[in-house]
Structure 1
Amino acid sequence: MSTIGELERKAGIGTSPAERTAFWRQFHHLEGEACVNAGVAELRRLIAAREAVSEASPKTRVARFRHEVMPPLTADQQAALQAYAAKHGRRWKSILSNAWMGGPPHDDGGLLRGLRNSHGPSWLQSYRLPKPPER
């Protein structure tokens, strides 16, 4: 059993309060145990990705964590995200993230669950909807 601090170090989260806060802020919309569980799940995902990178290219030096290259979204996935954003308004990402962690509303369909499985909650935080075409 690891402590949260050990998991943060293994995942590459910095030890400063600002770096730790930056990581945990993405789960602030969840309450109590759900927040901790979501954070620990994301830390374990980051650790697994980090270990996969280090196993793929063993070096004598410590390699810095590289951002994963995610597969591009399909037109259906883009449309599902845009529809979800239109339905839930400006807080759509936090609502979808909460749904991905098992909370209400349970209205994320198969395409959105597939994105959760393939891209992960961290990806959602940095994702930006495409700008609408100019008139």
Structure 2
Amino acid sequence: MSTIGDLERRAGIGGSPAERTAFWRQFHHLEGEAFLNAGAAELRRLIAASEAEPASWQNTRVARCRREALPPLTAEQQAALQAYAARHGRRWKSILNTARMGGPPHDDGGLRRGLRNSHAPSWLQSYGLRNPARR
């Protein structure tokens, strides 16, 4: 029988508290044993998916070097990010990242949920506004 830590490592979840919190946050709406069972099931799914991929050294190395192509932002998403940046000032990215992890402020509506599902947190770090809004 594996421990939760073993499952997290095999699934590729980082060992830092922030990375572990980011993974388990998606199950925060569940109570007690259901929380743990849902998280363990997702960890097992991630492990099975990673073990199903070809494990040759060359393919793994190429996969690590190549970035996955993300879908381009829609005009609506770009406008929403512009408005969010104008509302929160120059630290808008860190504020949005905190909100994305469940912290305050809770004023981002569907923007956070949509981008969280389609774009990774690392994408936000490299994203730049075309016409930065000044406060």
The percentage of counterpart residues that share the same residue type is 57
Per the normalisation by structure 1, the TM-score is: 0.59
Runs of at least 4 residues off by over 3 Å: 1-4, 6-13
Closer, same or farther in 2 for the Cα pair 1:3/1:12, shift >3 Å?
A: closer
Count of aligned residue pairs for this structure pair: 108
Taking the TM superposition and a 5 Å limit, the aligned residue runs for 1:5-16 are 11=12
Report the equivalent of 1:16: none
Structure 1 spans left out of the alignment, 5+ residues: 14-19, 28-34
The CA RMSD measured in Å over matched residues stands at 3.7
The structure number with the bigger radius of gyration is 2
Alpha-carbon distance between aligned partners in 2 of 1:125 and 1:89, rounded to the nearest angstrom: 16
Cα 1:126–1:9, aligned 2, differ >3 Å: closer, same or farther? farther
Give the corresponding residue for 1:63.
60
Q: Is the 8 A contact 1:93 1:125 kept in 2?
A: yes
SS of the residue aligned with 1:97?
helix
Please show how residues 32-43 of structure 1 align to structure 2 within 5 Å: 37-38=21-22
The within-5 A match list for 1:103-122 is 103-122=103-122
TM-score, normalised by the number of residues in structure 2: 0.59
Alignment partners' CA distance in 1, 2:117 and 2:91: 21
